[in-house]
Amino acid sequence: RATETVVGPERTVDGFAKAFLDELNFEAGVALKRSTTTDQYLALARTIRGYLMADWLRTAERRRQNPTKMVGYLSAEYLLGRQMGNSLLATDLGDIAEQAMTSLGLDFNLLRAQEIEPGLGNGGLGRLAACFIDSLASMDVPSIGYGIRYEYGIFRQTFEEGRQVEVPDAWLSLGAPWEFPHPDRAVQVNFGGTTEQYIDGDGRTRRRWLPAWNVQGIPYHYMVPGYQNGVVNTLRLWSARATQEFDLKIFNSGDYAEAVRAQTFAENISKVLYPEDSTPQGRELRLQQQYFFVACSLKDFIDRTLEEDFDLTRLDERIIFQLNDTHPVIAIPEMMRLLMDEHDMEWAAAWEVTSKCFAYTCHTLLPEALEVWPVELMTRLLPRHMEIIYRINEEFLDTVREAFPGDELRVRRMSVIQEHPERAVRMANLATVAGVKVNGVAALHSELLRDKLLPDFAALWPNKFTNVTNGVTPRRFIRLANQQLSTLITDTIGPGWETDLERLRELEPYADDAAFTESFRQVKQANKDRLRSILSQRDGIELPEHAMLDVMVKRLHEYKRQTLKLLHIVSMYDDITSGRVRREDVVPRTFVFGAKAAPGYFMAKEIIFLINSVAKTIAQDPRVTDLMAVAFPANYNVTLANKLIPAADLSEQISLAGKEASGTGNMKFALNGALTIGTDDGANVEIRELVGDENFFLFGMLEPEVAALADRGYTPSSFYESNPALKRAIDLLASGHFTGGDRSLAAPVVDDLLYKDRFMALADFQSYLDAQARVDAAYRDVDGWTRSAVLNVARSGFFSSDRSMRDYLDRIWMPKS
Ligand code: 26W
């Protein structure tokens, strides 16, 4: 009998070319000379994944043979970025693939450019999940990512007359060569209906759910390759389909149109990613999405991944589910329901194990971003879960009363159920009650989370709270994004730093080495040149050749303060055009923005319009075009980030202190040799500590100062009145100078700054301007700047997501004691 050994195609140029032609001819059924670029891209993708297949099967088999505790990462978002480059890097097949394509007369880079990135996330939280699964695979940690296969990811941003217009992201339209659908492994998910009491076979009184409708979840598997280590983990994303039962019920009623409508209804669940970032809209469909993917994932784990007949009272020996923010927190009552209603466990035993199987990561401090679900909605959509939540809460509040007798105010603050303005389930409280650990995403954030957001919980359970500072994968954000820097690093300190990023420290002595710093400068210049040509082709934006590249890329949000950056730009423009500074004293700058606004976020969209207006006015004003330029390429995404970040000289991380949980863009810039101008916020604090004060431009109030000012009462207009530079900048913005003479077009942003300014941009303006003056001075000293840039790279190894994964393992997933 033949034994199965899976071997990939031969790792030679000919072997690759043959595998590619097999894909094209026999899988797609197209001849090379008749094939389109899309055909070729798809065949190339399938060829590359063929090389990963043997490792994927071997990894899965190895894990099955030796079952150990796994990490289940539950996330509603994965912002993966393009897959081809990463797969080529993981398999080390880049050169072979390129030569094979060339041997067939094909343009390798053109084919690579065809890929539409899976944008199944909004921003930081989604990209973090993608970095984490990359690290888990590269570290060979038994783990699985669970999420949603949205048919439409984050919208494509376009600008019409400077205003954001959203276009659906049909990322699957070319075909989906990286995914493996498994309709044969569909899982059923129930919704609605009622609950009832009944007597089971053993005479026990129990409760059960009588759902009203259901859908099925189809798993789609994605390969998550480790970095050249033979490991391929799995990302399992769920897609919603109508169940046959669901169809038939309605079909049998004879209403064909209604039956088709019902299918659409079911499939809507995984149709589109909610583009809201930070302010949840509390929509029913969103709760359906959350429950849908969580129910599929738990069932998948218990029924299919876990060994058969495993004793579920020991479930925590096999799994820890990490909850990526509150979005998957409904998994907690779902686990209780599964254990009790479907696996016959008693409440106490079910709670005992459930409360060991989850840990919760919080990614925000903005109170409006904390999800709450109305009790009315929960009861209608998930009646059994609502009952379970009530009971969890009852027992929890008993614990609180025992620990703090007579303190009913505290009980009300800590309750999982809020009473005002409406009765609703506080998902963060639920996660904190049930989780083994609660963590923030940077040192400052974890401190504020413990002391300001959840102080009552910290008083009850001080040891539940911990920190894990975020990280980013050096594979995608250095090796792939910045090939030239990677080569320089390897030539200098040898190979291996990609999986041991603290080794970048070995670069420190080279900060004073003339040959090295010269090469380093050349790499930065080459990256800038490449970016200029990309922006020219991609957006028709023509940028000057020699200027400091000053970059602010992140979601558009008031707390991130893109307006503060805009005030600096307007101020610089005003200084030049009014002759207040001599032209020869100006350090030329190119400002680059990248930012999407949530479609319903009025102020964010006005800010985008104003940035575009300023950019256009500046581009048309010959008095300044040799000294400043503002570029705002549309549709900032992972693909563009990979091209932008390596080119940057200056990284803008200017949120109001205490508002940015961590930031991860800040880490990517530092690792690529940009210097940071930033507030004492999020992971900026740790970046500055590591790279050193002299290599970081700090400005702005510290968090306690922000809190104190808020307590005293903040009046932005007083800063406007008392600071002439600020007054000039605001007056110029308000005058209509940048908006074709129409003052009303600038008014929404200007009036908000003057009369509300929730995030205190005006209070930090002068300090920001002063810091920018220090940036100019530092940039004029070419050697000094390069030295600082090298030290930023050398001292940022801590920000590898491999280190984050280590910390999660040590502090949360597999603690020693
Ligand atoms: C619609 C509801 C909602 C609420 C919050 C959607 C998304 C969120 C996220 C918490 C927003 C988010 O992405 N937070 C970011 O998470 C990053 C990874 O930890 C941090 O680096 C950022 O500072 C944080 O804003």
pLDDT tens-digit profile of 323-332? 999 999 999 9
- Going by alpha carbons, the residue nearest to atom 9 of ligand 1 is 278
- Assess contact for 652 and 677: CB atoms under 8 A: yes
- Assess contact for 625 and 459: CB atoms under 8 A: no
Q: How far is the CA of 448 from the centre of ligand 1 (A)?
A: 16
Question: What integer pLDDT is reported at residue 297 of this predicted model?
Answer: 98
Atom of ligand 1 nearest to the CA of 127: 18
How far is residue 786 from each of residues 300, 664, 782, 789, measured CA to CA in Å?
52, 23, 6, 5
- Assess contact for 765 and 570: CB atoms under 8 A: no
Question: What integer pLDDT is reported at residue 248 of this predicted model?
Answer: 59
Q: How far is the CA of 21 from the centre of ligand 1 (A)?
A: 43
Question: What integer pLDDT is reported at residue 417 of this predicted model?
Answer: 98
Question: What integer pLDDT is reported at residue 658 of this predicted model?
Answer: 97
- Going by alpha carbons, the residue nearest to atom 12 of ligand 1 is 125
pLDDT at 651 over 60: yes
pLDDT tens-digit profile of 487-504? 999 999 999 999 999 999
Question: What integer pLDDT is reported at residue 243 of this predicted model?
Answer: 87
Q: How many CA atoms lie within 13 A of 121 on its CB side?
A: 23
Which of 234, 364, 664, 739 is catalytic? The answer is: 664
Question: What integer pLDDT is reported at residue 277 of this predicted model?
Answer: 78
Q: How far is the CA of 560 from the centre of ligand 1 (A)?
A: 12
Question: What integer pLDDT is reported at residue 6 of this predicted model?
Answer: 83
Question: What integer pLDDT is reported at residue 361 of this predicted model?
Answer: 98
Q: What is the mean pLDDT of the chain?
A: 96
How far is residue 415 from each of residues 392, 399, 411, 631, measured CA to CA in Å?
10, 11, 6, 48
Atom of ligand 1 nearest to the CA of 369: 4
With the most atoms of ligand 1 within 8 angstroms of its CB, the residue from 131, 289, 290, 363 to mutate is 363
67-82+117-469+807-813 and 548-783 have identical folds? yes
Which of 63, 524, 528, 555 is catalytic? The answer is: 555
The average pLDDT across 331-358 equals: 98
pLDDT tens-digit profile of 201-258? 999 999 999 999 999 999 999 999 999 999 999 999 999 999 876 655 665 667 778 7
- Interatomic CA distance for residues 691 and 687, integer angstroms: 6
Active-site annotation holds for 271: no
Q: How far is the CA of 779 from the centre of ligand 1 (A)?
A: 33
Q: How far is the CA of 349 from the centre of ligand 1 (A)?
A: 34
The average pLDDT across 47-57 equals: 97
Q: How many CA atoms lie within 13 A of 243 on its CB side?
A: 15
> Which of the four pLDDT bands, split at 50, 70 and 90, describes residue 769?
very high
Atom of ligand 1 nearest to the CA of 441: 19
How far is residue 620 from each of residues 52, 351, 514, 567, measured CA to CA in Å?
51, 66, 40, 19
Residues 139/141/147/152 CA torsion (nearest 10 deg): 20
pLDDT at 341 over 90: yes
Q: How many CA atoms lie within 13 A of 285 on its CB side?
A: 13
Question: What integer pLDDT is reported at residue 144 of this predicted model?
Answer: 98
Question: What integer pLDDT is reported at residue 2 of this predicted model?
Answer: 73
Which of 49, 112, 668, 737 is catalytic? The answer is: 668
With the most atoms of ligand 1 within 8 angstroms of its CB, the residue from 77, 128, 278, 669 to mutate is 278
Helix (H) or strand (E) holding 721: helix 716-722
Which of 554, 568, 589, 688 is catalytic? The answer is: 554
Question: What integer pLDDT is reported at residue 261 of this predicted model?
Answer: 79
Helix, strand, or coil here: 593? strand
pLDDT tens-digit profile of 533-567? 999 999 999 999 999 999 999 999 999 999 999 99
- Which residues are near ligand 1 (CB < 6 Å)? 122-125, 128, 274, 276-278, 280, 325, 363-364, 369, 441, 470, 660-664, 682
DSSP calls for 278-308: SS----HHHHHHHHHHHHHHHHHIIIIISPT
- Interatomic CA distance for residues 63 and 577, integer angstroms: 66
pLDDT at 571 over 80: yes
Domain extents for the chain? 1-66+83-116, 67-82+117-469+807-813, 548-783
pTM for this model (two decimals): 0.98
Which of 127, 560, 561, 565 is catalytic? The answer is: 560
Which bin fits 307, alpha (ψ -120 to 50), beta or left (φ > 0)? beta
Question: What integer pLDDT is reported at residue 817 of this predicted model?
Answer: 72
With the most atoms of ligand 1 within 8 angstroms of its CB, the residue from 364, 445, 472, 669 to mutate is 364
Q: How far is the CA of 89 from the centre of ligand 1 (A)?
A: 29
Percent of the chain with pLDDT over 70: 99
- Going by alpha carbons, the residue nearest to atom 3 of ligand 1 is 278
Active-site annotation holds for 437: no
- Going by alpha carbons, the residue nearest to atom 18 of ligand 1 is 125
Question: What integer pLDDT is reported at residue 40 of this predicted model?
Answer: 98
Question: What integer pLDDT is reported at residue 249 of this predicted model?
Answer: 63
ipTM of the predicted assembly exceeds 0.95: yes
Q: What are phi and psi of 444, to 5 degrees?
A: -60, -45
Active-site annotation holds for 505: no
Helix, strand, or coil here: 785? helix
pLDDT tens-digit profile of 104-129? 999 999 999 999 999 999 999 999 99
Active-site annotation holds for 327: no
Atom of ligand 1 nearest to the CA of 128: 18
With the most atoms of ligand 1 within 8 angstroms of its CB, the residue from 277, 365, 448, 601 to mutate is 277
pLDDT tens-digit profile of 373-429? 999 999 999 999 999 999 999 999 999 999 999 999 999 999 999 999 999 999 999
Beta strands in 40-177 (DSSP E): 70-74, 78-79, 119-120, 143-148, 156-160, 163-167
- Going by alpha carbons, the residue nearest to atom 4 of ligand 1 is 278
Active-site annotation holds for 596: no
- Interatomic CA distance for residues 146 and 409, integer angstroms: 38
Q: Which CATH architecture has domain 548-783?
A: 3-Layer(aba) Sandwich (3.40)
Q: How far is the CA of 219 from the centre of ligand 1 (A)?
A: 26
Active-site annotation holds for 221: no
pLDDT tens-digit profile of 262-316? 788 899 999 999 998 777 777 999 999 999 999 999 999 999 999 999 999 999 9
Q: How far is the CA of 257 from the centre of ligand 1 (A)?
A: 40
Q: How far is the CA of 273 from the centre of ligand 1 (A)?
A: 14
pLDDT tens-digit profile of 661-670? 999 999 999 9
Q: What is the end-to-end Cα distance of the chain in Å, rounded? A: 48
Q: What are phi and psi of 418, to 5 degrees?
A: -90, 150
Q: How far is the CA of 559 from the centre of ligand 1 (A)?
A: 12
Homologous superfamily of domain range 67-82+117-469+807-813: Glycogen Phosphorylase B; (3.40.50.2000)
pLDDT at 592 over 80: yes
Which bin fits 128, alpha (ψ -120 to 50), beta or left (φ > 0)? alpha
Reference 650, options 774, 467, 758, 763; nearest CA is 774
